[in-house]
Chains A and B, each alone.
Chain A
Amino acid sequence: MAKNPEHRDLFPGALEVMILQSLRLKPMHGYALVKHIKQVSDDLLQVEEGSLYPALQRMLKEGWLESETGTSSKGRPTRIYRLTAAGIRHLESEVVSFERMFAGFTRVLAAAKT
């Protein structure tokens, strides 16, 4: 998906976890989310802007997010996304499973080196 060949494709579920984690800090609108992820990852991860919206809708449908009417940083109307209790529970279980996966991944890489 990434247009820049230096950026790898995100694996399934990664975008969602990042959105959830970002919104845990504070409710945001779409553009702010993109910027936030870019900033926090020091430009290492780049969300393809367009793919954010279908993902947001999926998560709204799952009940992990709520949307409300709000204004952007420029003062124009937009929608602000907020994490729900279900979203927090989902995030936590996803983080645990990601961590376990990363640990396994790291061990396999380490073993391959020796």
Chain B
Amino acid sequence: MSRFSRFFFRNRRYDDISVSIQEHIAERIDELMEEGMARDEAERTARRDFGNVTLLRERSREVWQWQRLESLLMDLKHVCRRLVRSPGFAITVVLTLAIGIGANTAVFSVLNSVLLRPLPYSEPEQLVAMRLNAPGAPGLTDFRDELRMSPSMYLTFAAHNRSFQSMGVWLPGTASITGIAKPEQVNTAVITDGVLQTLDVPATAGQWLTAADQDPHGAQRVMLGYGYWQRRFGGDPGVVGRTISVDSQSRVIAGVMPRGFKVVGYDFDLLVPVAFDPVKQSLAVFAYHGIGRLRPGVTISQADADVARLLNVWMDSWTNGPGTDSHWYLKWKITPAFLPLKEQVVGSVGNVLWVVMATIGIVMLIACTNVANLLLVRADGRQQELAVRSALGAGRWRVARELLLESVTLGLLGGAVGVGVAYAGLRLLIAIGPENLPRLSEISLDGRSLAFTLMLSVFSGLFFGLIPVLRYAPSRQAVPLIGAMRTASVSRERQRGRNLLVVAQVAMALVLLISAVLMIRTFNVMRNVDPGFSDPPSLQVMRISIPETLVRDPQTVVRIQNSIQDKLAAIPGVTSAGFAVSVPMSGAEPNWDGIYLEGKNYEGEEPPLRLFNYVSPGYFHTAGTRFVAGQDFAWSDIYSLRPVAILSESLARELWGSSSAAIGKRFREFPSMPWHEVVGVVQDVRENGVNQSSPATVYWPSMMANLYGPGPLDARRTAYFALRSSRAGTETFINEMQQAVWSVNSNLPVAAISTMQDIYSESMARTSFTLVMLAVAGTMALALGILGIYGVISYAVSQRTREIGIRMALGANKSELLWMFVRSALVLTGIGTVVGLGAAAGLMRLMRTLLFGISPLDPITFTVVPVALVAAAVLASYLPARRTAAVNPVDALRAE
């Protein structure tokens, strides 16, 4: 018989044993009576000869049992029965734990999915982000935290490296798709050969792009992303081989990438091959993200050294044009600083997640402390029972085991309900979480999260169960059997345990409240920062690209843009319109270079790098960016190619001392360019978010004489149009906008439609997310802490009723008695506050990166929060203490 069937057929066995034993004794009695014994005499003799029937039956049964387990099950049955008998207690504890465990599981799931789980590529530990640093390039760090790779770097590194199995570069972008439905702008990942090989995820239909697709004169193909394939082609596998029009150019669909495949965390609609013509490449245009798959056994530092060596090869092999020094970039001190790809994908969000995890963990601790407090009170009530059991020979371990079993059972019940809470919490987290949270789509409750829940349930059960165990299990000799409780007031020792818990709770709650208030202050400071544009809810933004394949002539491009701007401005309710290559906080790829001032001798020195933007007349007015000096461009300036420019205030002041002094001064980007005259200076704009400093910015006209490529003119083909209107964001308004665009050219897709408010909120999302999480945690901590104080004081009052009665009988003042209890709460809160302040001062340093504009030791926060907490504690103790006043001394003493 297998173990299991044995387990289930056991009851039959037990019956067998009983029947056998019963018959055995009956037969013996019969026999003895036949020998002449009286019935009761015979029965006694038979039983005496047989021995202890119950014990022997038990022994016989035990043969079929797993003894330890069964006695544990027995205890468990006991525990459950006791919990069912006090449903109020059980429900309170289980719900407290469920919320605590659920919140922890939810946050852990996010942490696990985002930070801990490997990237969804094969052998992800071999993947690196090929980041370059350029500490010698002044100003670069104002708008970029790395130097990206140029096409010529890619060509050199890919050909000569010894560290990588494969490597490639890529760039996010957009493209217009026409001819399928309405013209549509889609997100593209422009990739070189090597990107797909490096990520190594097979196509779900068709095949990868190959090196042949990179030939600028060769086959022109694309691959589809899964989402776009489903959305636009209904997941039809027959699309492979079909032709679509990408930026007015016909391309054959080579294949489809599977669901969930992203290029380094970037979700694309189309994979478009780059077509670098090696003949035409120069050293520059540092725009591309590099990724590589290391050969087995090669470390990141070896790869760094390998590529550092190739930088010389790169400078030897390419040039920025005749008459330039190709080793000029030595000044930039370019150094490879490759990173595991996961770090690149996850970025700085780790900070936020760890802070949130720690916060929620502290809430859990506070919840556990509350539960421990409840258990202590409960164990107090059971003290006599436990004492009796000890006296009857129950071992310490046995008593401890039962107490722990109870708390672990509570923990597990809490955990089970907590999984439900976590599931709901996770949906909420994803909903309110920053939209740009990396790997958002990968977040799920997986095995590891559930294992975490289980561990947390068991450990929290052990943790809050151990406190009553330490208090009651060892006190076998000390526990009075009966009576002592009634006559004495509560012992100091027992009160001390609960006091300690309250101090811990207050300290933890204080830490959380301080962090929450610091975040609120940060958020406030950020909201009060002038972002460099006004009234974002009424500022409508959208992006329009005019590909070269659609309109060749740059002048026509500008004329189209000009008429779009005019048409948009003519929509009812629109007060003004304009466009710029990049709008603040939109994450558009920045353009940058150094500028040379007229009349200044650089003597081989390099000017710092400045952010470049290109704007139309009217853009600043529309965005609400103030002119500090001078004036805006005019359309006539644009069309006549008048060499003019507008500077940001900080740049004007840096170069010429003041904004007004800058007007009329001239500068240029490089020698072949005419000197551009500063006609206006505008206020600083927080291009990268309100918590980042405003970069020094040069605003060029949207069309200039071309100095890079073929043709006399250079226009900006992708631009964000901005409209000022109280109707911004409404559906009808967006429709009218699109109609206005299409009335100029029906092949132009309108993309990235949003209000400036959306962009602004998005850039604050991480802060507001952290704020919400900390505020929720802080509120929970405060509520739990107050509850803890309330509970302890009201328990103390109920335990000391007799003492109060005596004191009152002896003439004690009611208000003095009241003060006695409030004072004890104040002492506890005071100690907790001091401990908490110390802990907060240490811990807030860890939050420094999340704060903005205030010190981690902000004096206001560090004063207001403790005062508020102490006030809350006074209230929480006053309410139960007031009951002492109602105590009638006669009743109190009669209760004896």
Q: Which residues of A contact B20 (CB under 8 A)?
A: 29-30, 53, 56, 78-79
* Residue among A34, A49, A72 with most chain B CB within 10 A: A49
Kindly identify which residue among B17, B23, B27, B53 contacts A57, using a CB–CB cutoff of 8 Å: B17
- B62 CB contacts on chain A under 8 angstroms: 54
- Which residues of A have CB within 8 Å of B27? 31, 72-74, 76
Tell me the minimal C-beta distance from B60 to chain A in angstroms.
5
Beyond the given A72-B26, A78-B19, A78-B23, could you list 12 further A-B residue pairs with CB under 8 A, ordered by the A residue number?
A: A30-B21, A34-B24, A49-B49, A50-B50, A51-B56, A53-B20, A53-B57, A56-B60, A60-B13, A61-B6, A67-B16, A77-B19
Kindly list chain B residues whose C-beta atoms are within 8 Å of the C-beta of A50: 50-53, 56
Please tell me if the beta carbons of B13 and A49 are within 8 angstroms of each other in the complex. Answer: no
Chain B interface residue bracket vs A: 20 to 34
In the complex, chain B residues whose CB is within 8 Å of the CB of A76: 23, 26-27
Answer whether residue A58 sits at the interface, using C-beta atoms and an 8 A cutoff.
yes
B63 within 8 A of A: yes
Let me know if A9 is at the binding interface, CB within 8 A.
no
B50 with A49: CB separation less than 8 A: yes
Asked whether any CB of chain A lies closer than 8 Å to the CB of B242, the reply is no
Which residues of the partner chain A approach B28 to less than 8 Å between Cβ atoms? 31, 49
A53 touches B17 (CB 8 A): yes
Minimum distance in angstroms from B142 CB to a CB of chain A: 81
Q: Does B82 contact A (CB under 8 A)?
A: no
Residue B332 interfacial (CB < 8 Å): no
Q: Which 6 A-B pairs have the closest CB atoms?
A: A50-B51, A78-B23, A57-B63, A50-B56, A54-B59, A31-B27
Is residue B803 contacting chain A, with contact meaning CB distance below 8 A? no
Q: Which of A61, A73, A78 makes the CB contact (< 8 A) with B63?
A: A61
Of chain A, the residue at the smallest CB distance from B15 is: A79
- The residues in B between 185 and 208 inclusive whose CB is less than 8 angstroms from any CB of A are none
- With both chains docked as a complex, state the minimum distance between the C-beta of A27 and any C-beta of chain B, in angstroms: 13
Question: B26 and A74: CB pair below 8 A?
Answer: yes
* A53 interface neighbour in B26, B30, B60, B64, Cβ under 8 Å: B60
**In the bound complex, what is the Cα–Cα distance between A79 and B12 (angstroms)?**
12
* Given A49-B51, A53-B17, A67-B16: A30 and B24 interface contact (C-beta under 8 Å): yes
Tell which of A53, A56, A60 has the most Cβ of chain B within 10 Å: A53
Instruction: Mark out the residues of chain A between 20 and 36 whose CB falls within 8 Å of any chain B CB in the assembled complex.
Output: 29-31, 34
CB B803 to nearest CB in A, in angstroms, measures 57
| A58 contact set on B, CB distance < 8 A | 63
Shortest distance between the CB of B18 and any CB in chain A (Å): 10
Q: Interface readout for A30-53 with B: 1 if CB under 8 Å, 0 if not?
A: 110010000000000000111101
> Smallest distance from the beta carbon of A43 to chain B beta carbons, Å?
14
Contacts A48-B51, A49-B50, A79-B16 given; does A54 touch B23 at CB 8 Å: no
B interface list, Cβ under 8 A from A: 6, 13, 16-17, 19-21, 23-24, 26-28, 30, 49-53, 56-57, 59-64
29 contacts between A and B (CB under 8 A): A29-B20, A30-B21, A31-B27, A31-B28, A49-B24, A49-B28, A49-B49, A50-B53, A51-B56, A53-B17, A53-B20, A53-B21, A53-B57, A53-B59, A54-B56, A54-B60, A54-B63, A57-B13, A57-B61, A57-B63, A57-B64, A58-B63, A60-B13, A67-B16, A74-B26, A74-B27, A76-B23, A77-B23, A79-B16
A31 contacts B23, C-beta separation under 8 Å: yes
For residue B758, give the distance in angstroms from its CB to the closest CB of chain A. 73
Residue among B49, B63, B64 with max Cβ neighbours from chain A (10 Å):
B63
Number of A-B contacts (CB under 8 A): 72
CA distance A29 to B24 in the complex (A): 9
How far, in angstroms, from A16 to B171 measured CA to CA in the complex? 84
CB distance from A105 to the nearest CB of B (A): 30
In the complex, A58 Cα to B28 Cα: how many Å?
24
A58→B62 CA distance, assembly (Å): 9
A residues 60-100 touching B (CB-CB < 8 Å): 60-61, 67, 72-74, 76-79
Measured CB to CB, the closest approach of chain B to A73, in angstroms, equals 7
Known: A50-B50, A76-B26. A61 touches B19 (CB 8 A): no
Q: How far is the CA of A54 from the CA of B62 in the complex (A)?
A: 8
Residues of A within 8 A of B24 (CB): 29-31, 34, 49, 53, 78
In the complex the two chains form, what is the Cα distance from A48 to B56 in whole Å?
11
Chain B residue nearest to A1 in the complex (CB): B51
Residues of A within 8 A of B26 (CB): 72, 74, 76
Least CB distance from A29 to B in Å reads: 7
Q: Which residues of B sit under 8 angstroms from A77, Cβ to Cβ?
A: 19, 23
Give chain A residues whose Cβ lies under 8 Å from the Cβ of B17.
53, 57
Q: Which residues from B are CB-within-8-Å of A53?
A: 17, 20-21, 24, 56-57, 59-60
Q: How far is the CA of A79 from the CA of B27 in the complex (A)?
A: 13
Report B-chain residues with C-beta under 8 Å of the C-beta of A79. Answer: 16, 19-20
In angstroms, Cα B17 to Cα A30, docked, is 10
Report the bound CA distance from A50 to B20 in whole Å: 11
A49, B444: Cα distance in complex, Å: 63
Chain A hits for B56, CB < 8 A: 50-51, 53-54
Query: A96 vs B30: C-alpha distance in the bound complex, in angstroms?
Result: 39
Cβ contacts under 8 Å, B52 to chain A: 50
Closest to B57 in A: A53
Q: Are B30 and A57 in contact (CB under 8 A)?
A: no
Q: Which of B26, B27, B49 has the most CB of A within 10 A?
A: B27
Q: Which residues of B contact A31 (CB under 8 A)?
A: 23-24, 27-28
Q: Which of A50, A51, A54, A60 has the most CB of B within 10 A?
A: A50
Q: Give Cα A79–Cα B24 distance, bound, in whole angstroms.
A: 10
A45 to B19, CA, bound (A): 26
CB A89 to nearest CB in B, in angstroms, measures 19
Q: What's the nearest-Cβ distance from chain A to residue B434, in Å?
A: 63
Task: Report the separation of the CA atoms of residues A49 and B27 in the bound assembly, to the nearest whole angstrom.
Answer: 12
| B548 shortest CB reach to chain A, Å | 87
Residue of A whose beta carbon sits closest to that of B55: A50
* A34 to B46 CA separation, bound complex (whole angstroms): 13
Task: State in angstroms the CA–CA spacing of A99 and B28 once bound together.
Answer: 34
Q: Are A61 and B64 closer than 8 Å at their CB atoms?
A: yes
Which residues of chain B come closer than 8 Å to A48, judged between CB atoms?
A: 51
Looking across the interface, which residue of chain B has its beta carbon closest to that of A81?
B20
Distance in angstroms from A41 CB to nearest chain B CB is 17
CA–CA, A50 to B49, complex, Å? 8
Chain B residues whose CB sits within 8 angstroms of the CB of A34 once the complex forms: 24
Cα distance, A60 to B49, chains bound together (Å): 24
Chain B residues near A74 (CB-CB < 8 A):
26-27, 30
CA distance A48 to B844 in the complex (A): 76
Q: Which residues of B contact A57 (CB under 8 A)?
A: 13, 17, 60-61, 63-64
Q: From B49, which residue of chain A is reached at the shortest CB distance? A: A49
A50 to B62, CA, bound (A): 15
Nearest chain B CB to A74 CB, angstrom units: 6
Residues from chain B with a CB closer than 8 A to the CB of A30 are 20-21, 23-24
Q: How far is the CB of B23 from chain A (nearest CB, A)?
A: 4
